Amino acid sequence: MALPPDKAKRQSTYIDAISTLADSSIYFGKYQTNPHTCRNCGHVHNANSEKMTDVNIAVELLQDAFQDAFDVAILISADSDLIAPIAAVKKLFPQKRVIVAGVAASPFDPELWLAERQRRQRDTLAILRELLATRADRDQRLAGLRTLALRVERSPDPDYRAYQARLAEYNCGFAARIHTATTPEQRRQARDTLKGWEADLRALTAPPG
């Protein structure tokens, strides 16, 4: 199924970013187009359905369990078809834990998130254009940039701020569940990995010379 160009580009960028992680693997499903005929008028239209995604997840989950590749698995999905493989893992490997974070339970709203990012882009362009058009002096430029920074840090939209609070609460609860389910050694390894990423980022952003 062809995606709108902007969505296809964002998906491609996301997949490219994930592919740079040494410990990550990407498994692709597919969209299948099937003709459907309306029983009332006889009109034929194409309907797209996603195939193989749940199967791929189930196979990898069971395979990793049998190969003892994890102690705790985190599964983010709202697909009820995955209940059976999760139950199988819990039955065959009672010492392992599977944490399920249902997408439907998360307050994350991609459309709202995108609208806020687009608003920030419009604000940035508007302030920069105004500073250029008015030939602003140093103090005016600093004031404009401070205003922009404040609007980035704290959205002027009260509905979006309320959404951010709900999302932060959910994410904190999810992080707490992961923390509780992991061992001290796993948490130590996660901490070292994150500090390694921090060091890499600092090195990449350091001024040359």
- Give 143-156 pLDDT, tens digit per residue: 888 888 888 888 88
Higher pLDDT among residues 31 and 205, named by residue? 205
User: What is the pLDDT confidence band of residue 188, given thresholds at 50, 70 and 90?
Assistant: confident
- Give 84-141 pLDDT, tens digit per residue: 888 899 899 988 888 777 666 778 887 888 888 888 889 889 888 988 898 889 898 8
pLDDT of residue 165: 92
| Nearest one of 62, 60, 77 to 24, comparing CA atoms | 60
Q: Rounded to whole angstroms, how far apart are CA atoms 178 and 174?
A: 6
DSSP assignment of the chain, as one string?
-PPPHHHHHHHHHHHHHHHT-TT------EEEEEEEE-TTT--EEEEEEEESHHHHHHHHHHHHHHTT--SEEEEE---GGGHHHHHHHHHH-TTSEEEEE-GGGS---HHHHHHHHHHHHHHHHHHHHHHHHTT--HHHHHHHHHHHHHHHHS-S-HHHHHHHHHHHHHHHHHHHHHHHHS-HHHHHHHHHHHHHHHHHHHHHHSPP-
Mean pLDDT, to the nearest integer, of 23-44? 78
Q: Rounded to whole angstroms, how far apart are CA atoms 13 and 19?
A: 10
